[in-house]
Amino acid sequence: MSHYTANLRDIEFCLFDLLERESIMGKSIFKDVDRETAMGMLEEIKRLSENDLAASFIEGDRLGTTFNKETGDVTLPESFKKSYRAYMDNEWWRIDAPEEIGGTLIPPSVRWAIAEMVLGSNPAIHIYASGTSFAQVAFYLGTEEQKKIAKLMVDNDWGATMQLTEPDAGSDVGAGRSKAVKQADGTWHITGTKRFITSGDSDLNPNIIHYVLARPEGAGPGTKGLSLFLVPKFMFDFETGALGERNGVYVTNVEHKMGLNVSATCEMNLGEKQPAVGYLLGEVHEGIAQMFKVIEFARMMVGTKAIATLSAGYQQALSYAKVRVQGPDLTKAADKASPRVTIINHPDVRRSLMVQKAYSEGMRALVLYTASIQDAIAIARAEKDESKIKDLEALNDLLLPIVKGYGSEKSWVLLGTESLQTFGGSGFTQDWPLEQYVRDAKIDTLYEGTTAIQGLDFFFRKIVKDGGRAIGLLGKEIGAFCASGGELSEEKAALGKALEDVNGIMGTMVGFAMESQEKPEEIYKTGLNTSRLLMAVGEVIIGWLLLRQAEIATKKLSNPGRDADFYAGKIAAAKFFITTVLPHIRAERKIVEAETGAIMNIPESAF
C-alpha cells in the first residue's frame, strides 16, 4: 500500500472554486488547456504519484546513495531509478521545458498543483528532474549557441545543478572564491570548491550541466562581481549532443544527512584534476540576476515540497486516528467498563487533526494563490500589458518568501508536533512514514536561504525597498474582504483585527529602521523581529484564504450533493484557525512594540 494519498478534491476546489482558474483556461496563451484537460493531467499524476513514484520512497531513504571516491561517481537504488523513469518516460518533463524546444505550456497554477503530488509522494524525483526547468534559463538568457545546450538538455534528459554555496561563504554568496579565467577560444576555466550541491551527481542522466557562480579574473568583490557559467560533466558536440571527454568538475564527498537521503548532496571540486571548462551564460556578467531565475523557482519548489509533506502527514494521521482504538470517551472516563473508542473521538486528538487540516489546506491555497499570480504574469507578458506586469511581479516576489519561509517552518513544526504525535510511540518507529516525513522536511527550512534569510529578504527587499506597494495592495484586498460582511462577518472582523496588528508590527519595524539612520544599532530591533513578521503575515494570508474558502463552501451547502461533509470541513477549519491561531498575532505585536534590542548587548560569554 502506498504511503501517499493525494488530496485531489481539495486541489480541484482551490483551483476552480477559490481561484477560478477556469476563467483563464482555454484562451490566450493557455488555449490548449481547458478545465477538462487540466483535470485529466491532475488525475493521471495522482495515479502515478500514489503508485509508481511512491513505490521507492522508503527504500530510497533506507539505501540512499552510493559514492565511489575513486571515480567521483554517485549511484542510486534501482527502485528509485525505476520511479524516476516512470516520471520522465511519461513525459511530465514537458511542463517545465520551453515550448520552443518541446515543452508544453500550461498555467503555473496547474504546474504547481502537479508538483505538489510529485513532491508529496517522492520529492527527490522532482528535484532530480529539474534539468528541463534549468534549461529554460539557458534558453531564454543564453546566446544562440547556448540555446542549443538547452535543447540538448531537454532532448537527452540531462540533469542540472545550481552551484552557489562554498565552504567558507555559506549563505554569504558574495564571499565566494571560485575563480574564472577566460581562454583564447572564448571558454572559461573555473577553479574552486562548492558545497551542499543538490543532485551534484547520479546515474540517472548521461550528462549534467552545472550552473556555477564564479568570479572572473579581475572582477570586483561581492555579488556584483560574480558571473554564471554553464559547466558540463562531459564535454559534448553542440550539434549532435554526442558526449566527449570528462570535464574537470568532480564530486569529492557526499553529505550524510538526516533525511532526503536518496537526493545526493555533494561537495564539488572544479579544476583540480583537469580544467573545468565553462561557458559564460549570455556572454554577460550578470551572475546573480541570472541565478535568481533558478533560485525563485527553487524557493517555490521548496515551499511546495514542505506543504505537500504536511498534507501527506495529515492524511496518514487522519487515517490512523480513525482506526486506532484507545481509551474511553472522555464523558465516560469514570466508568472503567465503558467501551474503548477510536482516538479521533478524544478532544486533543481532534484539536490536533483540525490544526493539521487547517494549515495543510490553507497553505495549499497559499501555493496555488501564488501560482495564480504567476498565471497572470505569464498572460500579461504575452499580451505585453506593461501596466500590470510590474505590480504582479512585485506581488509574486512578496509571496515567495512566505511560501518558502513560512510554509517550510510551519510544515516542519506541525509534522513533528501534530502529525507524528497523533501516532503516539508508533510515530517514532519506521513502521509508519511519519518519522521519514519529519526528517525529509527539516531541510526545507534550510534550503535556498534559511527562514531567517527569508525574513530579512521579506522585510528589507520585499517591503522596504518596494516602498510597501505590494504589501499595501495585498493588505487592501484582504481589508476589503474583511469589511464585506455576510454569514462569516464575525470571523471577517477578527481577521481584520489581525490585519491591523500586522500593520502595527510593520509600522514599528519601519520606525526602528528609520531610527537606525541616526543610531545604527537601532537596526538590531528590526533584525530581531523580521522572522516574526514573516510568520505573522503568513498567518493573516492563510486566515484570509481559509475564510474565502469557507464563504464559498457556505454557498455550496445550499445544494451540496455528496460534498456536504467536505464543505462543512472547510467552514470548520476556517473558524478554528480564526479563533485559535490569529489571536496570537496581538501578542506578537506587543512583543515587537516592547523591543529594546537588549539581547544584542549581552556578552558572548553570557550565552
The architecture of the domain spanning 8-134 is: Orthogonal Bundle (1.10)
Spatial separation of the C-alpha atoms in residues 345 and 331, rounded to whole Å: 11
3-state secondary structure 345-398: HCHHHHHHHHHHHHHHHHHHHHHHHHHHHHHHHHHHHHCCCHHHHHHHHHHHHH
Report the candidate in 5, 17, 6 with the shortest Cα–Cα distance to residue 365: 17
- Helices (runs of H) and strands (runs of E) counted in the chain: 21, 14
Domain-by-domain residue ranges, the chain? 8-134, 135-285, 450-600
pLDDT of residue 478: 98
All cell numbers assigned to 399? 509571496
Q: What is the mean pLDDT of each run of 10 residues along the chain (607 residues)?
A: 94 98 96 97 98 98 97 97 98 95 96 98 97 95 96 96 89 86 97 96 98 95 94 97 97 97 97 95 94 93 98 98 96 91 97 98 98 97 92 97 98 98 96 97 95 97 96 98 96 98 98 96 97 98 98 92 93 98 98 97 96
pLDDT of residue 175: 81
Spatial separation of the C-alpha atoms in residues 604 and 586, rounded to whole Å: 32
For residue 339, give the DSSP letter: P
The architecture of the domain spanning 135-285 is: Beta Barrel (2.40)
pLDDT of residue 242: 97
Instruction: Pick the catalytic residue from 50, 116, 448, 588.
Output: 448
Distance from CA of residue 443 to its chain's centroid? 11
DSSP string, 266-331: EEEEESSSS-EEEEEGGGS--HHHHHHHHHHHHHHHHHHHHHHHHHHHHHHHHHHHHH-EEEE-GG
Instruction: Provide the percentage of residues in the chain whose pLDDT is more than 70.
Output: 100
Q: Quote the pTM value.
A: 0.96
pLDDT of residue 173: 82
Spatial separation of the C-alpha atoms in residues 78 and 87, rounded to whole Å: 15
For residue 204, give the DSSP letter: S
pLDDT of residue 482: 98
All cell numbers assigned to 532? 516574526
448 in catalytic set: yes
pLDDT of residue 387: 86
Q: What angle in degrees, to the nearest 10, is found between the helix axes of 386-401 and 287-323? A: 60
Q: Which residue, chain included where needed, has cell 489546506?
A: 361
